[in-house]
Chain A
Amino acid sequence: MSQATLRIQKISGHAGAVPGDGMYRDIKEKQVCKLVDTTTCIGCKACEIACQEWNDLPFAATMFDNTYQTMPDTSWNFWNLIRFKEHVRTDGTMMWLMRKDQCMHCADPGCLEACPADGAIVQYANGIVDFQSDKCIGCGYCITGCPFNIPKFNPSTRKVHKCTLCADRVSENLEPACIKSCPTGCLHFGTKDDMKDLANRRAKQLKEHYNFPNAGVYDPDGVGGTGVIYVLHDITDPELYNGLPKDPHIPWAVKLWKHPLKWLGNLAMVGGAVGLFVHYLKVGPKIAHKNGNGAEGRQ
């Protein structure tokens, strides 16, 4: 990990090529990844506090709604939330499911796809998807483009915020603040390949030794894989963990809008303008004169 990993490989709302895209050596080994093992999370919220502290975010009032969840949802000043769910299994036993919810840092980010502002959302060579607030115009399209409901709008600054995966720390060879604070070791950080390997080994262990036959790794293909992966007790039902989507992908309406509609629309606009120009060259103006009824007047 070095500042070279902060070279930009994708830019939102950008006309033309991305400078540097494809001109460096293979970046595969530079892909960073956060591994969240939901099976060993105790819900202590140390990562929530570490996130607030490192990112210098103001503390918001917590809410007690008879759960072990700090507040109902992430917000513009609260990027990392341990979602809590009390789950009763078919055999009558009970589980407390804790899921660390934050930006997933998708390989194909829906936020970046939907964003119209040049450079307001970038993806670095290490895979981190980062918002550039000075370029953000506050349109909120990223909120609609995101399949995980992560970007949150700050009404007073009219900017959208989310987890940065501590890009500032990562580029200096440090792990993200949440990882550093975790007391149980349920959070891990490293290259995508290493984390995938570790996650798969843990899932295998859960299957073979802990009676979780459906244990598995959540790294959804629909968004090209993510920079945050989960080990789940039951990979067949990710929705159980407070709405982790089973098959997340960039919304079809956003894809239709950004691809076919855009090219058809641009073609129609340019074609229409050319057509009207050619029409004028060929046919000329329409002048009312033929009945000689004072047509020489102001035309």
Chain B
Amino acid sequence: MSETTGAMLPNNRVLRYNFRERMVHWTAGISYVYLLMTGLAFWTPWLFWMAVALGGGAVSRMLHPWAGLIFTFAVILMYGMWSTQMRESAADKAWWDSINNYITNQDEKMPPVGRFNGGQKLLFWGFFWCGVALLLTGIVLWLPQSFPAVVRQIAIFVHAAAALITIGLFMLHVYMGAIFEKGAFDAVIRGDVSAAFASEHHRLWFDEIARETSAKR
């Protein structure tokens, strides 16, 4: 296995995300949060204060498409890094079948999975395909006078609908990564997780790294 997908570290730590992966993740993450706040401001008057707080409605409108391009750039890099690892496998099927145990923290009943579990793969592909839709419709909304009326009308609806899907995924992702699953936030900041985290949540991946490490010795 190549070094990009993990390695054993001293003190029972395991490298989960290398520097490049973390950088790309946060490029996407920070640009997404800006897009989310300005986008929600345009979505409902109740949240228009977000645009005001971020420099005013006109500034938010001007920068939102450029932040979208940064987000697109990060998603393209993510696709390059992770698309092969995000392919659905037989282990994911078993994981989804056991999703109730995952939700209720009965992890000892969970089947072993590789580097990414079924939920993480759903997040990745959900963001990827919604990102494609948001980019295409976003270009239409960016330059409204360059497109025919019916295209603009469809774009305005699809852009909001796709954004809502990503908001659902985003809320789950933040909850899982920063609140629910202890150790996961460290993984995407510092890059490493405990061996317990790796073996309990990503057993197949951990076993592979462990095998590789002992083979090297």
Instruction: Name A residues whose Cβ lies closer than 8 Å to a Cβ of B.
Output: 13-15, 114, 116-118, 135-141, 143-144, 149, 152-153, 158, 251-254, 256-257, 261-262, 265-266, 268-269, 272-273, 276, 279-280, 283-295, 297-299
Contacts and interface: CB of A to CB of B under 8 A. Distances in A.
Interface string B186-207: 1000000011110111000000
Contact of B181 (A261, A265, A266, A286): A286
Q: 7 shortest A-B CB distances, which residue pairs?
A: A294-B12, A295-B196, A137-B57, A140-B144, A253-B153, A15-B45, A288-B197
B18 to A, nearest CB: 18
Contact of B196 (A137, A272, A289): A289
A293 B160 contact: no
A253 B151 CA distance: 10
A13 B52 CA distance: 13
Given A14-B45, A256-B157, A261-B161, A137 B61 contact: yes
29 contacts: A14-B45, A15-B48, A117-B57, A139-B141, A141-B156, A143-B152, A153-B145, A254-B157, A261-B161, A265-B160, A265-B164, A272-B172, A273-B171, A276-B175, A279-B180, A283-B103, A285-B180, A285-B181, A286-B181, A288-B107, A291-B196, A292-B196, A293-B194, A293-B196, A294-B195, A295-B194, A295-B197, A297-B11, A297-B13
Contacts of A294: 11-12, 194-196
Given A15-B48, A266-B44, A293-B12, A288 B180 contact: no
A92 to B, nearest CB: 34
Interface residues of B, number: 52
Contact of B182 (A135, A153, A288): A288
Contact of A143 (B58, B144, B186, B196): B144
B154 interface: yes
A73 B51 CA distance: 33
A276 B115 CA distance: 25
Given A144-B149, A256-B157, A257-B156, A284 B105 contact: yes
A293 B145 contact: no
Contacts of A257: 156-157, 160
A143 B46 CA distance: 23
Contacts of A291: 196, 199-200
Contact of B149 (A114, A251, A276): A251
User: Mostly helix, strand, loop or mixed at chain B's interface?
Assistant: helix
Interface of B: 11-13, 41-46, 48, 51, 56-58, 60-62, 103-105, 107-108, 141, 144-145, 149, 152-154, 156-157, 160-161, 164, 167-168, 171-172, 175, 179-183, 186, 194-197, 199-201
B127 to A, nearest CB: 16
Given A15-B45, A141-B156, A276-B172, A286 B107 contact: yes
A57 B107 CA distance: 70
B105 A269 contact: no
A299 to B, nearest CB: 5
A253 B156 contact: yes
Contact of B145 (A116, A140, A251): A140
Nearest to B142: A140
A80 B97 CA distance: 64
B153 A283 contact: no
B161 to A, nearest CB: 6
Given A138-B61, A265-B160, A288 B141 contact: no
Contacts of A283: 103-105
B48 A288 contact: no
B161 A114 contact: no
A140 B141 contact: yes
A153 B142 CA distance: 12
Given A140-B145, A269-B167, 6 more contacts: A137-B61, A254-B156, A257-B157, A288-B194, A299-B194, A299-B197
Contacts of B201: 288
A116 B42 CA distance: 5
A117 B51 CA distance: 10
A297 B103 contact: no
A62 B206 CA distance: 72
A260 to B, nearest CB: 10
A272 B44 CA distance: 18
A110 B44 CA distance: 16
A136 B62 CA distance: 12
Contacts of B181: 285-286
B47 to A, nearest CB: 9
Given A251-B149, A294-B195, A287 B108 contact: no
